[in-house]
A and B are shown apart, each in its own frame.
Chain A
Amino acid sequence: MLAAALQLKDIFKHYQQVEALGGACLTVAAGSIHGIIGENGAGKSTLMQVAYGVTQPDSGEIVVDGAVIKISSAQVAIKHGIGMLHQRVSWLDEMSVLENIVLGDEIKSYVYQDLTKARQELEQLRREFGFSFSLDVAMTQLNYSERQLVDILRSLYRGVRILILDEPMALLSPDQADYLTKLLVMLKLQGISVIIVSHKLASLHQLCDVISVLSNGKVVHDVRPSSLSLGQLSKLMVGREIVLPHASSRNKQALTHAPLLNVSNLTVYAQKRGRRVRSDPLLEQCNLSLFGGEIVAIAGLPNAGQELLLDVIAGLHHFNRGSIELFGKEYRAKNHYCIAKARKLGVAYAPNPTLEIGLIGQLSMIESSFLGYQSKGLRQFSLFNPSIKKQHCINLMKQWRIRPLLAHMLSGNFSGGNQQKMVLARELSRQPKLLLLNQPTQGVDAGAVEYVYQQLFALRDNGGCILFCSSDLDEMISLSDRIVIIEQGKVVTQVLTADIDKAQLGLLLVKEVLQQQPRQETSTQGNKS
C-alpha cells in the first residue's frame, strides 16, 4: 500500500438546516487515481470544495503528506500542492489564457510583470501534455471543456501533487474524453494523485485504482474496481442495478403522419460588431423534419452548430433566412419568432449550461419550478396563494428525487445535477408537444438517468417529439430513434439508430473529422488574418 497523499477525516458541514457532509472520511493513496461516485446531492462537490479550501468544514481534519493542516482558502491549498478542475468554470473572459493563469502568481515587481519565464514554462507543459489551445487566445474563444482543461494546466504550472477533478467528463466529446483519460494516466505516472468525481460509472470503472461511494454525506464504500463488475458498482451506488430503457421498444402507433416541426433552408449568419458576416454562416441551409412519436439526436463535433440549431428552434436565437414550420404554421425570419411564442405553442427547452440559461440562481426552487411559465402561473397557481406553488414544487422535487427537499432554498445552492433535474422536471411537467434538450443528463447521477429516460420515452409514446444533442455517444444510441449529423453548420446526413451501433457512429463522426481536418485549418487561418 502506497503512502496516503491526502486524508480527510470526519468532515462535517451544515448549510443552515441541511447536512451536506456527515462525517465523511476519505484516504487517497499517493500516485493513484481515486474515483468518487454518489447520487446527486450526496455531498461529492462539497467534500471536494473542503479539500480545496473553498468551503470551510464545521469540523474534521485534513492531512496532507502526514501533516494535519487547515486549508482556510484556495491559496493554502495551492501552497500544499492541491489543484482543482471545477465543475463550473469561472475565468476572466476578456483576458488571455496566459493572463488568467498567472493571475495568482507571486508578485515580484509591482510595476511590471515579466511573463517570458511563465510563458516558457507553460508552453513546455502545454506541449508535454498535449493541450490543444494556444496561450494567447482570449478565454471567450475556448469552448467549455477547454476552459475546464485550463484549470489542469494552471495546476500543473503551480506544481500540483494532488489534482481534484469535479465532473470533468460531463461535457466532453468522445475524443476529448479519450484525451482526458490519457492525460490522467500521464499525471499518475508522474506521481500525481488524481481524485475524480463523475457520474460516468463505466469510465471510472476502467480508469480508477480505487472508487469511493458517497451517500448522504458519508463515504459508505471503498472498492477496487478490478474486483467487481460495473453492475455491482451501480448497485453499491443506488442500491439496485441500473437498467436503462432502450429506444427500440417504441410505440409505433404514436408516430404522426404530418411532421410537427419542419425546418427548411434555415440559415444564421455570424455577427461581428452588430453586422452580419455572410461569408461565415453559423448554420447554412438546414433542413429537418420531426414527427410526433420519435426522438431525434443531433450529432456532430463540438461547435458544429447543433446547440445553435436548438437555440434557433426554441426561439432563443434569431435566424436570417429560411423558415420554421411548427404544428402546421410557418414562421419566417421577419415574423419575430421568439421563445415566448414557441412556448405558447407547446415547445419546451432545457438549455445548457443550466445555471446560466435554464435557472436563475438567486431565485428559490419554488420560483424556479414555474420559471418561464409565469403567465400560466397566474391562472393556474394563483399568485396570491403561495401554498399551491409550494405544493407544485414539492411534488416535482419528490417525483424527481431532488435533494435536499427544501423548496425555499435558492436554486443556485443546489448541486449541478439537481439543478438539471429541476429544469427537466419543469419542462416535462408542461407536457410539451416538442421538447428540445441540450445535454439532457449532464451532471445527473446514473440512477436518475434511468428515470429521465423513462420520462422521455413516455412523452414520445404519447405522441410528443424530442430533439436533443449530447456529447455522449452511448446516450445518443440508447435514446434516439434517428440521428441527424451536422457538420460546420450544415445537416449532412441522417441515419436510423436501429441500423447503427456505437462504433459505427463514432466512425461516422471520425470520418467527418478526417474529411474536415484540412478545411478546419484553412478556416482558423482565415480567422487569424
Chain B
Amino acid sequence: MDSLLSWLQLFDASFRLATPLLFAALAGLLSERSGIIDIGLEGKMLFSAFAGAAMATISGSPWQGLMVAVLAGMLFSLLHAFVCITHKGDQVVSGIAINMLALALSSILAQRLFSLGGMTPILSSEQRLPSLNLPSLIDKDDSWISLLYWKLLSGHNILVYVGFALVIALWLFFKFSPLGKRLYAAGQDPLALARAGVSVAATRYMALIAGGAICGLSGAYLSIGHGAGFFENMTVGKGFIALAALIFGKWHPIRVFGACLLFGFLEALTIRLQGLAIFGIDSLVPIQLIEILPYVLTLLVLAGFVGHSIAPKALGKS
C-alpha cells in the first residue's frame, strides 16, 4: 500500500514536472515541422514566465498574467520569424540571440519593476492559476482505481490538462487539418508547397506565432501555475531539455508527449532521491550530483536510445 502511494506520488510529480517541457516541446514541434529551427525555446519560456508573473503581481489576476505570458511568447517568436523568414537569417544564431536577450531582459525588467534582485514578489494563491479537481465520477475509497483517479489524475493545475488536450489537438491537426498538411509540407518540401500556390513564408509565420503562444503557456505554468513567482534564470535549461524531447519524440506529437513524460519522471526521481539514502550512504552523496541526473540522462537518452530520428527534410534551410 505504502509503496503504491509513493509510486503514485512519483508519477504525480512527473506530470507536474513534464508539463512545462511538454508545452515547450510542442511549441518547438510546430516551428520545426514548418522548417524553422527553434533553439530559442528556453528564452521564450523564460521571458513569458517573467511577463506572466509581473502582470499577475501588478493586476492581481492570474488570467491577465496568462494572457500577457502568451503575448510575450508570440512577440519573441515574431522576432525569430522576422529574422529567419523575412530576412533569411541564420536560424541558430537568431535562437541563441533570443535566449541571451530573454535572460538579460527578464532580470533587468524584474529589478526595475520590483527591486527584489531580479525577482518578482511571491504570488498569493489568488494570483496563481487554479488547480482543477476532476468531477466525482469515482468514490473516494482505498481501491486502486480510486487512488489512481484522485491521487494521480485529479487536482493538477489547469494548464496540465490544457497540455494533455493540446497533444491530442496537435496530433489531429497534423493528421486531418488541411492547414496541418500545409505546415508539414513547408518543413518537408517548401518548393512543392509553393508550386501548389501556397505562401511558404505565411505558413511558417503562422506556425512560429502559434508556437510562441504555446511556449508562453509553458512560461506561465512555471511562474504563475506550478510556481509562485519569477526568479532569475528560473527555466534552468528546460527549453533545451524540451528540444531534446522533441528529437527523442521524432517530431511526432504523441511520441513527444511520451518523451516529455520520461524526462519529467527523471526529474521527479531526482527530487525524490534527495531525501533518501542511496546504497546506505546518505550524507556523502552531494545534492548537486543528484540534481545533474536529468541532464546526464538526457544526454544518454539522446546518444543511445533515440535510434534513427528523421528531422523534417527542409529543417533549417531557408
Contacts and interface: CB of A to CB of B under 8 A. Distances in A.
Interface stretch (A58-66, A86-94, A311-319, A372-380): A86-94
Given A73-B199, A74-B197, A92-B185, A105 B192 contact: no
Contacts of B199: 73, 75
Interface in B129-188: 176-179, 181-182, 184-185, 188
A102 B182 CA distance: 10
Nearest to A158: B197
B116 interface: no
A107 B178 CA distance: 7
Contacts of A15: none
A113 interface: yes
A110 B197 contact: no
Given A91-B189, A92-B188, A107 B195 contact: no
A103 interface: yes
Contacts of B178: 102-103, 105, 107, 109-110, 113
A111 interface: yes
Contacts of A104: 193, 196-198
Contacts of B184: 92
Given A92-B188, A92-B189, A111-B176, A74 B181 contact: no
A92 B192 contact: yes
Contacts of A74: 194-197
B177 A110 contact: yes
A8 B195 CA distance: 21
Interface in A288-326: none
A214 B137 CA distance: 77
A99 interface: yes
A103 B177 contact: no
Contacts of B193: 103-104
A74 B185 CA distance: 16
Contacts of B105: none
A93 B177 CA distance: 18
A99 B192 CA distance: 12
A90 B192 contact: yes
A100 B197 CA distance: 12
Interface in B92-130: none
A78 B197 contact: yes
A450 B193 CA distance: 38
Contact of B176 (A78, A92, A93, A112): A112
B293 interface: no
Interface string A74-98: 1101110000101000111101000
Interface residues of B, number: 19
B191 interface: yes
B192 A110 contact: no
A360 interface: no
B181 A103 contact: yes
Given A103-B182, A103-B185, A90 B195 contact: yes
A90 B191 contact: yes
Interface string A41-55: 000000000000010
Interface in A87-146: 90-93, 95, 99-100, 102-105, 107, 109-113
Contacts of A91: 189, 192
Given A73-B199, A75-B199, A103-B182, A54 B194 contact: yes
A84 B195 CA distance: 9
Secondary structure type dominating chain B contacts: helix
Nearest to A107: B178
A73 B177 contact: no
A102 B194 CA distance: 13
A166 to B, nearest CB: 12
B86 to A, nearest CB: 15
A193 B308 CA distance: 48
Contacts of A109: 178
Interface string B195-222: 1111100000000000000000000000
Nearest to B182: A103
Contacts of B177: 110-113
A43 B185 CA distance: 29
Contacts of A75: 197-199
A109 B176 CA distance: 11
B198 A110 contact: no
Contacts of B195: 54, 74, 84, 86, 90
A262 to B, nearest CB: 38
Nearest to B192: A90
Contacts of B188: 92
Contacts of B197: 73-75, 77-79, 104, 158
B194 A73 contact: yes
A93 to B, nearest CB: 8
A54 B196 CA distance: 11
Nearest to B193: A103
A74 B197 CA distance: 5
B194 A110 contact: no
A100 B192 contact: yes
B189 A90 contact: yes
Nearest to A78: B197
Contacts of B198: 75, 103-104
Instruction: Name the residue in A54, A91, A103 with the highest tally of chain B Cβ atoms < 10 Å from its Cβ.
Output: A103
B194 to A, nearest CB: 6
Interface string B38-68: 0000000000000000000000000000000
A137 B192 CA distance: 17
Contacts of A99: 181
Contact of B196 (A103, A111, A112, A113): A103
Instruction: Name the residue in B179, B182, B197, B198 with the highest tally of chain A Cβ atoms < 10 Å from its Cβ.
Output: B197
Nearest to B176: A112
B191 to A, nearest CB: 4
A77 B176 CA distance: 28
B74 to A, nearest CB: 19
A113 B194 contact: no
A153 B132 CA distance: 53
B77 to A, nearest CB: 20
Nearest to A84: B195
A111 B178 CA distance: 8
A86 B191 CA distance: 11
Contacts of A158: 197
A505 B189 CA distance: 40
Interface string A411-432: 0000000000000000000000
Interface in B261-295: none
A112 B172 CA distance: 9
Nearest to A88: B191
Nearest to B179: A110
Contacts of A112: 176-177
Contacts of B192: 90-92, 100, 103
A113 B191 contact: no
Contacts of B181: 95, 99, 103, 113
B190 to A, nearest CB: 9
A158 B184 CA distance: 22
- 7 tightest A-B contacts by CB? A104-B196, A104-B197, A90-B191, A113-B178, A78-B197, A75-B197, A103-B196
Given A103-B185, A105-B178, A110-B178, 12 more contacts: A74-B194, A74-B195, A74-B196, A74-B197, A75-B199, A91-B189, A93-B189, A95-B181, A107-B178, A110-B177, A111-B176, A111-B177
23 contacts: A54-B194, A54-B195, A73-B194, A74-B194, A75-B198, A75-B199, A78-B197, A86-B195, A90-B189, A90-B192, A92-B192, A93-B189, A95-B181, A102-B178, A103-B196, A104-B193, A104-B196, A104-B198, A111-B176, A113-B176, A113-B178, A154-B196, A158-B197
